[in-house]
Chain A
Amino acid sequence: DSGVTQTPKHLITATGQRVTLRCSPRSGDLSVYWYQQSLDQGLQFLIQYYNGEERAKGNILERFSAQQFPDLHSELNLSSLELGDSALYFCASSVGTLSTGELFFGEGSRLTVL
């Protein structure tokens, strides 16, 4: 158990809909990262927050947005969903930045768009 909690574990929805994925980082971790993992793309970095502020941005679509709240939990919002958005979405946390490389990953939220 990494200590990172993601909900929901599974989500099935239709094209055009909007969903919110939630992440609670490990106790004491200030950084939260979101990754998308699909069969053909591997693990793709989406976005990082550090203590409530956006710190780094990857290949995150404009239809996706995220935020980190004062209690450090984070939410990833996916809107106008398309079939290609079906994937595993992972949240990871770390104490600070990536300097040690040790990210703690949650078990992921599996999104299926029909």
Chain B
Amino acid sequence: EDQVTQSPEALRLQEGESSSLNCSYTVSGLRGLFWYRQDPGKGPEFLFTLYSAGEEKEKERLKATLTKKESFLHITAPKPEDSATYLCAVHKYGNKLVFGAGTILRVKS
């Protein structure tokens, strides 16, 4: 069965304290892995797409990496405005996007 597992469920950081979020997956026919950010009461907002192991993408304080079994979202020197739920999703053959449960990130100043 296809599974996308994100860890930790919740993460509290001090402003400037770098860390990483993990997304591990067991999906047949993987076509891509995506990261989204979701603010409370809002729809998810697209961040990155990764297609193959070894690929990296960066945007401001965020960097996403991909291996054959997992992806990491590295947050460097986070700020309070980075507080959100971060969702990863895998695009599998059959045009379906399977989301993980998300990691709730809180950054305190």
User: A residues near B, CB below 8 A?
Assistant: 2, 4, 33, 35, 42-45, 48, 55-56, 58, 90, 92, 97-108
Contacts and interface: CB of A to CB of B under 8 A. Distances in A.
A42 B43 contact: no
A107 B44 contact: no
B42 interface: yes
Interface stretch (B66-74, B75-83, B98-106): B98-106
B49 A97 contact: no
Given A45-B97, A99-B31, 15 more contacts: A35-B99, A42-B99, A42-B100, A43-B44, A43-B99, A45-B96, A98-B31, A98-B97, A99-B91, A101-B33, A101-B46, A102-B34, A105-B43, A105-B44, A105-B45
Contact of B46 (A42, A55, A102): A102
A44 B102 CA distance: 12
A42 B94 CA distance: 20
A2 B96 contact: no
Contacts of B98: 45
Interface residues of B, number: 23
Contacts of A56: 94-96
Contacts of B87: 43
B23 interface: no
B21 interface: no
A107 B42 CA distance: 5
Contacts of A100: 49
Nearest to B98: A45
B22 to A, nearest CB: 16
10 contacts: A43-B87, A43-B89, A58-B96, A97-B95, A98-B97, A100-B49, A101-B34, A101-B49, A102-B34, A107-B42
Nearest to A48: B95
A105 to B, nearest CB: 3
B104 to A, nearest CB: 12
B91 A101 contact: yes
